[in-house]
Chains A and B, each alone.
Chain A
Amino acid sequence: MSLVNFTTREITCKIVYYGPGRSGKTTNLHYIYGRVPDSRRGRMVSLATQTDRTLFFDFLPIDLGQISGFTTRFQLYTVPGQVYYNATRRLVLQGADGVVFVADSQARQLDENLESLQNLQANLLDHAVDIRTMPIVLQYNKQDLPRELILQPLELDDALNFRAVPSFPADALHGNGVFETLKSITELVLRRLAQGAPA
C-alpha cells in the first residue's frame, strides 16, 4: 500500500489491531468510532457472530482531512482473534503500515497473548515482513478488571514486550488508553514515513 502519495497529496495509513480472541480489538474500534465526528468517519464495517465475536474483520476508515496539505486517511482494521481464522488474519495483515497488539491483561490469558504474538510474527513473515521493522505498539487491555485477575503493565511488559515497543495500559470499554495507543502507533508509522521507508 502506498503510504504517501505526493502526486495526489494523500497519506493513507493502514493500522491493524491484532491480538487473541476477546482481548478487545473491536471494542477499541468502537470507542474510536464513537469519538470521531460523523463527517470524518466512514461506515464501520463489522462482521460478527451472534455472540459478538469478530468473524471476519472490522474496518473503520477515518478521514483526518488536510494535514500539512495532505489528505490524510486512516484505515483501522481488526482481525478475528480465534485461532482457526488464521487465513483471514494473514489477509488483513497484508499491506499493514502498523500494528496495535491488543493483549488481554487477565493472568489466565497470558498464553493466548503469547500465542497470538507468535502468530503475528509468523503471519508477517509470510508477507516477507520482519516484525522488527514493523511499527508496533502494545496495549494491555482490561486493566479495569480486579487487580487479582490481571497482570500489571510492568509484568505484561516483561512477558510480552521483548522489543521494548511503546505499551499502554487500557480499558477500551471506557476508552482509557484507546487514543493514546492510536496516537502512538500513528506517530511510529508517520515517523517511519519520514525516514523514507519503502511505502
Chain B
Amino acid sequence: MTTALNPKFTFETFVVGAANRLAVTAARTVAESPGSAYNPLFIYSGSGLGKTHLLMAIGASAKRLAPSLAVEYLTLDEFVEAFHAAIGAGQGDAFRRRFQTVDVLLIDDVQFLTNRREMQAELLRLSEALQTAGRQIVLTSDRPPVEIENLDERLISRFSGGLVVDIGVPDYETRVAILRRKAEERGAEFQPGVLETVAAAGFTNVRELMGVLNRLVAYQAVNETPLNAEGAKALLGAETPRAGAAAPAAQSERGPTPDEFAAFLTDVTVTVGKAVEAWRARIAEAILRWEGEGYRTRRLEQLLEQDTPVAPDEEIGAFARDVERLRALEAEVSQFDPQAAGQSVFRDPERLAEAEEAASRIRAGAAPPPGPSAALPFSTFAVGPSNQLAVNVAREVLDEPGRRYNPLVLIGKSGVGKSHLLNALGLELAHHPGAVVACLSTQAFIDELITAIDGNRMEWWRARYRRATALLLDDIHLIGGKDRTQEELFNLFNLFQDLERQLVFTAPAHPKTLQGIEQRIASRLEGGLVVELTEPDREVRRAVVERALGAQDVPDDPALVDYLADRPADSVRSLTGLLQRVVSAAAAQDVPVSAGLAREILEGGTAAERRRTVGFRTSGIVVSSAGGVRSREKIVWDWAAPGDRLIEELR
C-alpha cells in the first residue's frame, strides 16, 4: 500500500534557492530529529515545485540517519484507499494500529481531504496518536491548511500547530541551477546561454522546465550542430506566449515582444558569460551552488580574488571531494551523535582535518562517561574494623585492576560509606595512565541510557562506555525491573570481564537477594567478590567525628570527640547528622561546641529543639543543664485539646 521512496528524490538532488530554502531547512531538521522539531511539518506550494521531492527526501534522509525508523510515504488517495480497503475487510483497527507505529509518516497531497469527513476524522485521530507518541508527521498540499475547503477546524489547527512553510516559485538563478543540475545528471552539454534562455522563458514550474529540457536534449541528440541560445529561443517559440501571459496584460499591449526583460536578461547572461573569464565564472557558479547547500566556500572565493587563472575543474573537483568527505563524516557522526553532526566544522572544507579529528573523537565516544567525584578521595575515608576488609580488598583491586576481584561488589546499609569507597576507588583507578573511569550512580546510568534511546544515540552511548577502562556503578539494585538496562549492562559486563577491566558495584544487600535482577546479572555480580561494610565501629566513628569537627573549625576537644564517637550510630551519615545538629545548635545559641552541649542536644533536647504543638506541650525526657536526667515521667505543661491528644495517642 505504501509507495516506495524514489531513490532519486534526496536532499542532495534538491536544488536549493531563495524560494525554497526555508522549506528545505525545516525538512532537513525534521529528517535529522523526527518528532522533536516541527511536528507536524506542513509544506505547501503550487504544482511541480518540489513538494513530493522534499517529502521523499525527508523519508530517505531519516531512514539513512536511523535505519531502524519506520518511514511511510503515501499520497492521501492511497491513504484513503487503504482505509476503505481495511474497513471493507473489517480490519479498521488493524489499519489504525499499523499507522500508529510509524515513526515518520509522510502524506502527500492532503488538499484532497476536501469534503471527506470520515477521512478527516480518521486523520485527526491518527495525527493525535502519532504526535502524542512523539512520532513525526509531514504533510504536503497545494495550499495552506486554512485554504483547504471544508476542512475540520481541529485539523486546521493541528496542521498549523507545527510549522507551515511554503515553497515559492524558483527565481531565475534557481531555475538555471536546476536546469544545469538536471542537464548534468543526463550527461547533456549545452552551449553557453541555452539553459539561461530556457530559465528566462518564464516557466515557473519545475516540471515544465524539465519538459523543455527534455525537448532540448532530444533536439540536440537528433541534430548535428549543437543548439545555441537563439536556437533554443526558437525551439521555445511555441511556449513563450505562456511566459508573456504571466506579465500584466496592460504592459504586453504596450510593447512589441512579450517578455523583453527576460530576453534582455538572457542576453546579458551570455555577454557576462563571455566577458567574465570562463574560469572565474565556473568558480563563481560553484560557490553559489555550495553556498546554497550550506557549505563554506571561502577557499573558492580566495581563488576568485587571484589575478592569475587557475584550473577551475581541478579546484572545484578538489573542493567537491572535500565536501563529499565532509558529508560522509557528517553522516557517520550523526549515527553516533546527531547533535554533534550539526557542528559547523562539518560544513567547512577548509577545516576538513578538524572535521576528521572531530569525527574520530566522536567515533571513539569522545565525550567521556561521567567520572568519580573528586570530593570523595581515599584519604578522607575513615577506616576501622567494620570496613577494614572492604578497604583491603579495594587496595588489592587497585594493585591489579580487573584481575583479582572482578567484579567487586560492596554491600552494606545506607550511609556506611559504600559510595565513598566506590568513588575513592574510581579516583585511584583514574590515576592509571590512559584510564577512562566511568563512575556514576545506577540511576544516572539508566537516565543516560533512556536519553540515548530517545535521541537514537545508542551507538554513541555504547561507544562511550566501551571506551571506559573501569565501570563503577553505585546502587546497582536500581536496575531491578529495568530490562533494557540489564541487557546493556550484561553486554558491557561481558566486555569488561573479557578485557580485564575493573567493575565495581555497590548494593544495599547481597546480589542474590536483590529484587528484579536477572539471574544472569545476579550470578555475575556474585562471581567476583562481595564484601560487606557494616555499621561504623568506634574507630570509624571517631575518625569521622574528628574530621567533621576539623572541617567545621571546631577546636580540638577530646571529651566532645569521645562523647560523639560513643554515640550509637548505624551509619556514617547518621553520625554526621548528629554532629551537624550539635554544631548548628551551638551556632544558634552562640556558645562553643562542647561535650556538654552535645549531650544536652542529643539526649535531652533544649527548649529550642523541643517539639511543640498547639497548647505548648511536649512529651519526653527533659535533661537538666548539668546533664542528668531529671525525670523519666511524661511532663505536661498544658493539657492538650482532645484533637491533639488523639494525634498524640496515635503516635
Q: Closest B-chain residue to A177, C-beta based?
A: B256
* B274, CB-defined interface residue at 8 Å: yes
A9-B284, A69-B288, A174-B255 known; A64+B260 contact, CB < 8 A: no
Pick 25 A–B contacts, CB within 8 A, sort by A.
A6-B280, A7-B305, A9-B284, A11-B272, A31-B254, A32-B261, A35-B255, A35-B261, A37-B261, A66-B288, A67-B269, A68-B269, A68-B281, A68-B284, A69-B276, A69-B281, A72-B268, A175-B254, A175-B256, A179-B260, A179-B264, A186-B267, A187-B267, A190-B268, A194-B274
What string of 1s and 0s marks CB contacts (under 8 Å) between A30-51 and chain B? 0110111101100000000000
Q: Shortest CB–CB separation between residue B210 and chain A, in angstroms?
A: 21
- Listed residue (A34, A64, A66, A67) with the most chain B CB atoms within 10 angstroms of its CB: A67
Nearest CB of chain B from residue A183's CB, rounded to whole Å? 5
Q: A70 interface residue, CB < 8 Å from B? A: yes
Closest CB-CB distance, A15 to chain B, in whole Å?
Answer: 12
Q: Give CA–CA (A31, B264) in the complex, Å.
A: 13
Residue from the list A64, A68, A174 in contact with B265, Cβ < 8 A = A64
A34 touches B254 (CB 8 A): yes
The winner among A6, A40, A65 for most chain B CB atoms within 10 A is: A6
A residues in contact with B251, CB < 8 Å? 34-35
* CB-CB nearest in chain A for B173: A66
Contact between A194 and B276, CB atoms less than 8 A apart: yes
Verify if B561 is at the interface (C-beta below 8 Å from A).
no
Does the CB pair A183–B264 fall under 8 Å?
A: yes
Cβ-based interface call for A193 (8 A): yes
Interface residues on A, range: 20 to 34
Interface residues of A (CB under 8 A from B): 4, 6-7, 9, 11, 31-32, 34-37, 39-40, 64-70, 72, 174-176, 178-179, 182-183, 186-187, 190-191, 193-194
Given A6-B305, A179-B260, A190-B275; A64-B281 close (CB under 8 Å): no
Whether A186 pairs with B255 at a CB distance below 8 angstroms is: no
A190 to B271, CA, bound (A): 7
How far, in whole Å, are A193 and B274 apart by their CA atoms in the complex? 10
B281 partner residues in chain A, CB cutoff 8 A? 68-70
Does any Cβ of A come within 8 Å of B465's Cβ? no
Q: How many A-B residue pairs have CB under 8 A?
A: 100
In the complex, chain B residues whose CB is within 8 Å of the CB of A179: 260-261, 263-264
Q: Which residues of chain A have C-beta atoms less than 8 A from B261's C-beta? A: 32, 35-37, 40, 179
Inter-chain contact B284/A70, CB cutoff 8 Å: yes
Q: Does B273 contact A (CB under 8 A)?
A: yes
Please tell me if B287 contacts chain A, counting CB pairs below 8 Å. yes
On chain B, the residues within 8 Å of A70 by CB distance are 272, 276, 281, 284
The complex places the Cα of A70 from the Cα of B269 at a distance, in Å, of 10
In the assembled complex, B171 has its CB within 8 A of some CB on chain A? yes
Decide yes or no: A68 and B273 within 8 Å by CB, A6-B305, A179-B264, A186-B267 being known contacts: yes
Least distance between B389 CB and chain A CB atoms (Å): 75
Q: In residues 253-312 of chain B, which contact A (Cβ within 8 Å)? A: 254-256, 260-261, 263-265, 267-269, 271-277, 280-281, 283-288, 301, 304-305
What is the CA–CA distance of A183 and B263 in the complex, to the nearest angstrom? 10
- Residue of B whose beta carbon sits closest to that of A182: B264
For B301, list chain A residues within 8 Å (CB).
7, 9
Q: Chain B contacts of A64 at CB under 8 A?
A: 265, 268
- B172 interface hit (Cβ, 8 Å): yes
Chain A residue at minimal CB-CB distance from B280 = A6
Bound: A64/B280 CA distance, A: 18
Is there contact, CB below 8 Å, between B287 and A69?
yes
Given A9-B287, A11-B272, A190-B272, A65 and B171 contact (CB-CB distance below 8 Å): yes
Identity of the chain A residue whose Cβ is nearest the Cβ of B283 in the assembled complex: A69
CB distance from A162 to the nearest CB of B (A): 26
